C-alpha cells in the first residue's frame, strides 16, 4: 500500500506555528513524515506545538514576521543549518477588525507586513535555487474574505486579496524553470483563537448568523491543514497559481444575505 500524501524526507517552513491553523499544519505535516521548521513569536506556545508533533528533524525559530527586512538573513541561516527546503506554508496572520475611517496607513502597513509582505519576502528568498529543491511548493493561507467581505475588513480583505494575486505571479514566473508551485487556501470560519476573538468583539448572534450560511458548518483546523498537505504533496502536481476555497460552502451559498 502507498500513502499518496507521503511527505517523508521533505522539509518545510511553517509560519504562525504557535496557534490555530499554523499549529495544526505543523502537526499534520509531521504526521505525514515531513521535517518542519516552525516559526512564531511566542516561545512557550511554540514549544507546545513541538510537543504535539510526531518525531522528526524539526526545529523552530522565534521570529516576529513584521520585521520583514530580517527575513532574508533568517531564511539563509535556516538553509545553512538544514539544507534546501521543499517549500513553505504561511499561516501567520492578524485579523484585526477596523472601520475604514480608522484604518490609518500605520494600521494598513502593519496588517500588510504580517499577512502579505512577510510571505512574499520569505518565498522570494526561499525559492532561490540555492535554498530550495525543484518542485518546491508554497502555500499561503488567504481567506474566503478576499472575495466575501464584511464591514471593518478593509485591511484584512486587502491583505488576503494581495496573497491571492501574488501566488499567480509567482506561479507563472517561477514555475516554468524549476516546476515550483504557489497556491493559496481560502478558509471560511475556522475554530481557532482568531474566531474566538471575533466572536468576542461582534457578539454570538453575528457569529451564529455567519456560521448558518456555512453549508457544512464550522471548519476545524485539521480540515484546512489536510488541504494544505495535499497542495504540498505531489498529488497536486499540476495545481498552481490557484486560490483553493476551503470554506464549507460559504461563498457558493445563495442564502447569504
Partner 1 sequence: MNDEKKLAMLEELMELDEGTLKPETELADIDEYNSMAKLSLIVMMSDEFGKKLTNDQIKSFKTVHDIMDYMA
Residues found near partner 1 in the complex (CB under 8 A): 97-99, 101-102, 151-152, 199-204
Q: Which is nearer to partner 1, 43 or 200 (CB)?
A: 200
Nearest distance from C-beta of residue 204 to partner 1, angstroms: 8
**Which residue stretches of 83-187 are H helix?**
105-112, 118-126, 154-178
Could you identify the residue written with the cell 526561499? 126
Nearest distance from C-beta of residue 257 to partner 1, angstroms: 15
Beta bridge partners of 149: none
Q: Which is nearer to partner 1, 14 or 114 (CB)?
A: 114
What angle, 0 to 180 degrees and rounded to 10, lies between the N-to-C axes of helices 43-52 and 20-31?
30
Nearest distance from C-beta of residue 168 to partner 1, angstroms: 32
Q: Which is nearer to partner 1, 101 or 176 (CB)?
A: 101
Nearest distance from C-beta of residue 96 to partner 1, angstroms: 8
Nearest distance from C-beta of residue 199 to partner 1, angstroms: 8
Q: Which is nearer to partner 1, 202 or 253 (CB)?
A: 202
Which among 3, 122, 9 has a CA at the least distance from the CA of 57? 9
Q: Which is nearer to partner 1, 2 or 101 (CB)?
A: 101
Is 62 within 8 Å of 46 (Cβ atoms)?
Answer: yes
Q: Alpha-carbon distance 59 to 35, whole Å? A: 8
**Element housing 51 (H / E):** helix 43-52
Amino acid at each position: 500500500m502507498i500513502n499518496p500524501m507521503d511527505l517523508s524526507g521533505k522539509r518545510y517552513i511553517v509560519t504562525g506555528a504557535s496557534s490555530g491553523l499554523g499549529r495544526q499544519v505543523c502537526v499534520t505535516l509531521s504526521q505525514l513524515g515531513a521535517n518542519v521548521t516552525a516559526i512564531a513569536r511566542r516561545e512557550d506556545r511554540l514549544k507546545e506545538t513541538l510537543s504535539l508533533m510526531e518525531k522528526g528533524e524539526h526545529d523552530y525559530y522565534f521570529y516576529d514576521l513584521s520585521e520583514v527586512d530580517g527575513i532574508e538573513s533568517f531564511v539563509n541561516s535556516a538553509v545553512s543549518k538544514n539544507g534546501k527546503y521543499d517549500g513553505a506554508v504561511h499561516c501567520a496572520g492578524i485579523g484585526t477588525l477596523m472601520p475604514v475611517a480608522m484604518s490609518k496607513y500605520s494600521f494598513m502597513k502593519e496588517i500588510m507586513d504580517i499577512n502579505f509582505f512577510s510571505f512574499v519576502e520569505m518565498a522570494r528568498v526561499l525559492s532561490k535555487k540555492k535554498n530550495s529543491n525543484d518542485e518546491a511548493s508554497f502555500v499561503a493561507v488567504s481567506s474566503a474574505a478576499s472575495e466575501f467581505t464584511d464591514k471593518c475588513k478593509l485591511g484584512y480583505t486587502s491583505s488576503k486579496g494581495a496573497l491571492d494575486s501574488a501566488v499567480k505571479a509567482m506561479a507563472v514566473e517561477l514555475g516554468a524553470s524549476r516546476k515550483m508551485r504557489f497556491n493559496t487556501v481560502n478558509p471560511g470560519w475556522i475554530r481557532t483563537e482568531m474566531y474566538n476573538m471575533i466572536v468576542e468583539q461582534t457578539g454570538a448572534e453575528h457569529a451564529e448568523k455567519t456560521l448558518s450560511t456555512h453549508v457544512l458548518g464550522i471548519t476545524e483546523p485539521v480540515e484546512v491543514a489536510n488541504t494544505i498537505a495535499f497542495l504540498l504533496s505531489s498529488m497536486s502536481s499540476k495545481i498552481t497559481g490557484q486560490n483553493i476555497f476551503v470554506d464549507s460552502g460559504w461563498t457558493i451559498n445563495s442564502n447569504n444575505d
